[in-house]
Structure 1
Amino acid sequence: MADRKGRRGSGGDSAALHSVIDIPQHRIHSRESQMALRQKSDSDVFMELVRDISSDLDVTVLSHKILTNVAVLANADRCSLFLVQGSGKMKCLVAKLFDVVEGSTVEETQNQKEIRIPWGMGIVGYVAESGTGIIIADAYKDQRFNHDVDIATGYRTKSMMSEPIISTEGEVIGVAQAINKIVTEKSKSDVFTPEDQKLFKTYLTFCGISLTNAQLFEKSMFYLRKNESLLEMARGIFEEQTCLKTSVHEILVEGLELIPCEQCSVMLLDENEEEVNFSRIFQLTHEQKEKGEQSAEQDSPDEVVGPYIAKAEMVARTGEAINVSEFDNVSQHSLVLEKDQVPKYENFLCIPIYNKEKKVIGVMQFFNKMGSHYFDEKDQHVFESFAVFCGLGIHNVMMYDKVCSSMARRNIALEVLSYHASSSLEEAVKHSERFLPSADEFVENVSRFPFDDLVLSDDDTILASARMFVDLHLLEHFHVQRVVLFRWISTVKKNYRQVTYHNWRHAFNVAQSMFAIFKEGQYDQSLSPLEQFVLLIACFCHDLDHRGTNNTFQVKSSSPIAQLYSTSTMEHHHFDHCIMILNSEGNNVLEGMNADQYGKAIKMLEACILATDLALYFQKRGTFRDLIESETFDWNDANHRGLLRGMLMTACDLGAITKPWKVQKRTAELVASEFFEQGDLEKSRLNLQPIPMMDRQKKDELPNMQVGFIDAICLPLYEVFTDHTPSLKPLYDGVKRNRINWKNLSEGKQADDEEMEADVTSPRTTVSQQAGETKSVAGKMKASRRQKSRQRSVYCTLV
């Protein structure tokens, strides 16, 4: 209003306002006609602008009104409003409405990219931190001014006026900025004046009250909506209380729904360990959630949180949430990243999960909040509330799982007790008093590779078993009483079921193969007495209480054993059964060991028995092969020795494939019969179609399957062992001979029984002679193998 004389108000305030308010014709608001606004006094104009913002509780709409009103009062070309967000190190100023110009709408300004200014930086940061307004005549002469904004927008900033917005509690909650004063007839300068600043500051006092109310209303509505969402989510989480994986998946989905971010993970602690160790780790990305995919359980924290694992461990130890944003200098944070690691996420929030006893049972992590640079305090509070429901849900599922595990153990124990029995002391004494032949005095030499157990009676197998321990001098070394050894062997024998293949005879043959490797392969000179003792025990016990069905069948039939173990199902059961026998009266062959030896023996025993799971063999054989081929195997390396023991267990478990043809053929037919029996069960009980190897209708394909089994599993294993120990070459030769026969059968030809018999009955050579003969052969084999493809098809039907 260029001409305002004669229309002053009666009060002093009106006179003061009249000297400042200078509204050009094109700046009159569209909400009233120019004539109506002109007819009002200056104080009425000011109060109209105050009333305009007094009743609006939408922060975005209110911010837009404030800026358009500031443009009227300050006669500025455009205005910006920065609101304070966060606290502490994460405190910053955010302008969702930037450079609001005349005629703009809320929708247009909302489409602008969010501008975020760290606390104390630039002109706006200075005003917020100091709480003092400033007038700048030439922005480009002020070193605090950021020229990048002008470059990005193509707009030239000249003069500027900035003022803090103060809340009712006296805190800075924002900064308003007027840019480039417009020259009018009354005010011929393009620089803001102290009078402009005084009016600006007065108006922002009212704005502070309105913004405070709007933010409080927005906060209360936010928590109201989130609380409703939390209750709805809680119902969803508590609907599934029987499966941990399903429950955690629901938690991850609801977490990503609650506050969208790129990835969410749940890491559960191992309650059996005092140190922080995450036993189960689940993660779900926003993309996977949108596609309806299931969350993935990972084997290692590196697959989920990578270099941020230190933060998760700290939260688990302290029980305090950690919120890291880009303003925390994530790449420099020693607790987040190890040296040379690159941060994958700009921001993440990690919060503890408590059970009902207020004990931390895990952590939740949220990475890269969508549409923002960080998780604010409201997000953290919401997720902490969410974690309460998650903790209760996970705790209930874990309790349910424990109850189911206890019932499963009880059922297994009852089943074992009803089926098995411990050998009596009288029986053990009877066996121990019998004459114990030397290894080569048995009908078949127990220490030789080409061994056939069929010539031994059941009682003879007990004597032969004892001979293995005696010849290795293990009784005197570990102070094992002879009667205890015989009682343990008899009890182990009784705890094998009368199934077609995985019975006592199989366990005895596996142990005999290990004994032959000790003797003919001279491994008794490389392995320690403790390793030899444990390996033999593991061989005898590796299939205890086998039911004639594999791991897959246990899972498909939901057996009690499958409820206890999700991986290496039967192998874990065999180990448990082994420990049960060792703990039974009169059967502990380890009782003469000291505490250190005993602890090592149990740990080693578990690893050896679990190693008979072919799934683990497939995981580790590449590493073993690389060590042997690169000639970097180190007998002084505990990990190398552990890997070797596991490979030895597999080599002995599959040892029948190296035996003379008549033994191999008979054994293969027993294995096939047991497989067919499982296939029959799958058809009758589970209404499933078995895989070809277990389908009785495809028994004619056995020779071809055996060829595939030899190529995929056996040849690579015994080939590597021959490279490592040339004296084991007879095992590799036996596999090759048997492959030829199976190949002939698959092609409709006859197996050459006579040639096979001639091979295995040839005069025995000494170990030194064998080593000399096989040294050059092993070198040729290694060169030949390096020319083969590294990719071998997995004979996965046996896993």
Structure 2
Amino acid sequence: MASKEQTSIFSEVFELEQADLENKGPHNGNGNGCRFPIHIGITGYVATTGETLNISDAYKDPRFDPKVDSETGFRTHEMLCMPIKNASGAIQGVSLLVNKMDGSAFNKNDEDMFEAFAIFCGMGIHNTKMYEKVCRAVAKQRVALETLSYHATAPSEEAQRIKKLPVPTSNELGLLKFSFSELRMTEDETLLAAIRMFLDLDLLNKFRINYETMCRWLLSVRKNYRNVTYHNWRHAFTVAQTMFAIIKAGGMKNVLTDIEVMCLMVACLSHDLDHRGTNNNFQVMIESPLAQLYSTSTMEHHHFDQCIMILNSKGNEIFMNLNPEEYTNAIRLLEHAILATDLAVYFKSRGEFFHLVDEQKCEWNEDDQRELLRGMLMTACDISAISKPWDVQKEIAKLVFGEFFEQGDLERQQLNKVPDDMMNREKRDLLPKMQVGFVDAICLPVYESLTKVNDKMKPLLDMCQSNRNNWQHLATLSIQQLEEKESIKGSAEEKDIDESETTSSSEKSQGAPPRKK
């Protein structure tokens, strides 16, 4: 055997007898291999040149090394030596036949048969090497995941600290209100509020979740959100609170099963894990590793992967007491819920959902319709900032567009590209108009449809419509201000022209020399 990187050959000798060929007994192979420089002998020549050698008398060939026979006591006569190659033609080793049993030279038929054997050996060696590489890659991946898990999960001491803190009631926190806002809450208060939601939904009891495990899982989820302008832990917490309000106050508690409620809450808190502050299109444009992994819903697939990684990390296994069937179902529900937050997915599925609702053909006992409903609920929660009181909505909109403008800056710097208006900070005067377009195209349709499902969700629609009117008012003012600026600018230019003409006429009347242009 030999390779390009090696400077020597090792060999294994098998003494084949007639009984071996007829499968009448084991071969007399010996495990005493030898190793010698790659350029020595017949095998060395074939290993370095890749040529096939068919030699009828070995001792008449200057490339044959007689020392091989003197060391073994064997007499070599005929030799057929052939390289073993992989699919790309690289030499993996050398195969050698010595002395036909009838004493004749190796013929063309022998060469063809031996070539087939060499090809088979090459495939086997190549597959073995690939398997070894895969095994090493899997081992490296496991080490990386263990390291990542250690650094990505919250320490148990922090979980024990949170565990000791008193948890306010839902009424004290205002969690049942669709108008809820976390903007003035501390980090610990958001964690305690998240715990309260799981407690009030009785999820810890129904799924036998250890309280400290729940605390640590929440801490780990928060830790895995990057410090980006908008798509951070606080956004995820707000999305989860809206889902909680929809379930408890929006009439969905009697429609959704316990496992659906559990998975929707987990999905809301996890749906933007490790968000980088840029959208799917940006990942594709820069050809990021994530875009190479996932051709559709790029970031959403990554968020789901991060969610599973945390759930499987030691001390964070809030699903550990589910039986295999429940666990499989929970993972399926989680994946669908997180991928549903991709607006491209929303646009694909909303037509069917709207039709079912408008035609009053909803049958929530059918799996496909339940799936549509869960997807619409995830979208409604993800965009719920538009349904908050006007002062909160304005503040959140600044964060959203701040992150968009940061992406636009990256597009200018890295791609030398003029960003779309929504990402272009030079177009920030158009923000109110863009918000109106966003509400009309995405927000109002889903809230109108969910209100038809259950009118207890109407507060989402009412506040969304109110905010839409406020943005429309600002958009109208922006247009008027822009027109006034253009009017003032035009008047100023006309005044400059008039003054210039007056000065020119005065100079001519006084006989002044013409000014140079």
> Could you tell me the TM-score, scaled by structure 1's length?
0.42
Q: 2:350 aligns with which of 621, 636, 641?
A: 621
Correspondence for 1:579: 308
Correspondence for 2:182: 453
Correspondence for 1:565: 294
Distance 1:602 1:721 in 2: 25
Letter in 2 for 1:707: V
Deviation string for 1:746-787 (max 9, x for gaps)?
11179xxxxxxxxxxxxxxxxxxxxxxxxxxxxxxxxxxxxx
How has the CA–CA distance of structure 1 residues 633 and 578 changed in structure 2, closer, same or farther, with 3 Å as cutoff? same
How far has the Cα of 1:421 moved from its partner? 2.6
Structure 1 residue 535 and structure 2 residue 252: aligned?
Answer: no
Give the 5 Å matches for 1:222-237: none
Deviation string for 1:709-728 (max 9, x for gaps)?
00011111100111111111
**Contact map agreement 2:149 2:309 (CA 8 A) in 1:** no
Letter in 2 for 1:535: L
Distance 1:522 1:732 in 2: 15
**Contact map agreement 2:149 2:313 (CA 8 A) in 1:** no
How far has the Cα of 1:441 moved from its partner? 1.4
Q: 1:705 aligns with which of 421, 425, 434?
A: 434
Correspondence for 2:385: 656
Correspondence for 1:598: 327
Structure 1 residue 694 and structure 2 residue 412: aligned?
Answer: no
Letter in 1 for 2:338: I
Q: 1:513 aligns with which of 236, 242, 245?
A: 242
Give the 5 Å matches for 1:104-183: none
Letter in 1 for 2:266: I
Correspondence for 1:435: 166
Letter in 2 for 1:699: R
Deviation string for 1:463-510 (max 9, x for gaps)?
000111100011110000100000000000000000000000000000
How has the CA–CA distance of structure 1 residues 632 and 614 changed in structure 2, closer, same or farther, with 3 Å as cutoff? same
Structure 1 residue 524 and structure 2 residue 265: aligned?
Answer: no
Correspondence for 1:423: 154
Q: 1:463 aligns with which of 192, 216, 222?
A: 192
Please, which runs of 5 or more residues in structure 1 have no aligned partner?
1-355, 357-391, 751-799
Correspondence for 2:283: 554
How has the CA–CA distance of structure 1 residues 682 and 494 changed in structure 2, closer, same or farther, with 3 Å as cutoff? same
Structure 1 residue 736 and structure 2 residue 482: aligned?
Answer: no
Distance 2:182 2:469 in 1: 23
Letter in 1 for 2:292: Q
Distance 2:302 2:152 in 1: 17
Distance 1:417 1:481 in 2: 23
Structure 1 residue 491 and structure 2 residue 220: aligned?
Answer: yes
Letter in 2 for 1:709: F
Correspondence for 2:499: none
**Contact map agreement 2:176 2:244 (CA 8 A) in 1:** yes
**Contact map agreement 1:682 1:689 (CA 8 A) in 2:** yes
**Contact map agreement 1:500 1:674 (CA 8 A) in 2:** yes
Letter in 1 for 2:164: E
**Contact map agreement 1:501 1:674 (CA 8 A) in 2:** yes
Distance 1:433 1:447 in 2: 24
Structure 1 residue 641 and structure 2 residue 370: aligned?
Answer: yes
Distance 1:703 1:683 in 2: 23
> Could you tell me the TM-score, scaled by structure 2's length?
0.64
**Contact map agreement 2:154 2:216 (CA 8 A) in 1:** yes
Deviation string for 1:509-529 (max 9, x for gaps)?
000000010111121122111
Pairwise CA RMSD of aligned residues?
Answer: 2.7
Distance 1:749 1:472 in 2: 45
Moved runs in structure 1, 4+ residues, more than 6 A?
Answer: none
Structure 1 residue 608 and structure 2 residue 337: aligned?
Answer: yes
3-state SS, counterpart of residue 662 of structure 1: helix
Letter in 2 for 1:426: E
Deviation string for 1:156-211 (max 9, x for gaps)?
xxxxxxxxxxxxxxxxxxxxxxxxxxxxxxxxxxxxxxxxxxxxxxxxxxxxxxxx
Letter in 2 for 1:513: T
3-state SS, counterpart of residue 501 of structure 1: coil
How has the CA–CA distance of structure 1 residues 708 and 491 changed in structure 2, closer, same or farther, with 3 Å as cutoff? same
3-state SS, counterpart of residue 198 of structure 2: helix
How far has the Cα of 1:424 moved from its partner? 1.0
How far has the Cα of 1:439 moved from its partner? 0.6
The number of equivalent residue pairs is 349
Distance 1:508 1:723 in 2: 26
Please, which runs of 5 or more residues in structure 2 have no aligned partner?
1-86, 88-122, 480-517
**Contact map agreement 1:420 1:495 (CA 8 A) in 2:** no
Distance 1:517 1:687 in 2: 44
Distance 1:419 1:720 in 2: 44
Letter in 2 for 1:618: F
How has the CA–CA distance of structure 1 residues 418 and 514 changed in structure 2, closer, same or farther, with 3 Å as cutoff? closer
Deviation string for 1:256-310 (max 9, x for gaps)?
xxxxxxxxxxxxxxxxxxxxxxxxxxxxxxxxxxxxxxxxxxxxxxxxxxxxxxx
Deviation string for 1:660-702 (max 9, x for gaps)?
0111111111010000000000110121221110011101100
3-state SS, counterpart of residue 748 of structure 1: helix
Letter in 2 for 1:739: R
Letter in 2 for 1:654: I
How far has the Cα of 1:447 moved from its partner? 1.6
**Contact map agreement 2:251 2:454 (CA 8 A) in 1:** no
How far has the Cα of 1:418 moved from its partner? 11
How far has the Cα of 1:455 moved from its partner? 2.2
**Contact map agreement 2:175 2:241 (CA 8 A) in 1:** yes
Q: Which moved more, 1:683-692 or 1:622-631?
A: 683-692
Correspondence for 1:80: none
Distance 2:350 2:472 in 1: 25
Larger C-alpha radius of gyration, 1 or 2? 1
**Contact map agreement 2:229 2:403 (CA 8 A) in 1:** yes
Distance 1:469 1:519 in 2: 12
By relative contact order (CA 8 Å, sep 6+), the higher-ranking structure is: 2
How far has the Cα of 1:417 moved from its partner? 3.9
Give the 5 Å matches for 1:662-677: 662-677=391-406
3-state SS, counterpart of residue 455 of structure 1: coil
Structure 1 residue 725 and structure 2 residue 454: aligned?
Answer: yes
How far has the Cα of 1:419 moved from its partner? 11
Deviation string for 1:523-581 (max 9, x for gaps)?
11221110000000000000000000000111111111111000000000000000000
Correspondence for 2:273: 544
Distance 1:517 1:715 in 2: 16
Give the 5 Å matches for 1:17-56: none
3-state SS, counterpart of residue 480 of structure 1: coil
Give the 5 Å matches for 1:391-410: none
**Contact map agreement 1:420 1:494 (CA 8 A) in 2:** no
How has the CA–CA distance of structure 1 residues 470 and 585 changed in structure 2, closer, same or farther, with 3 Å as cutoff? same
**Structure with more strand by fraction:** 1
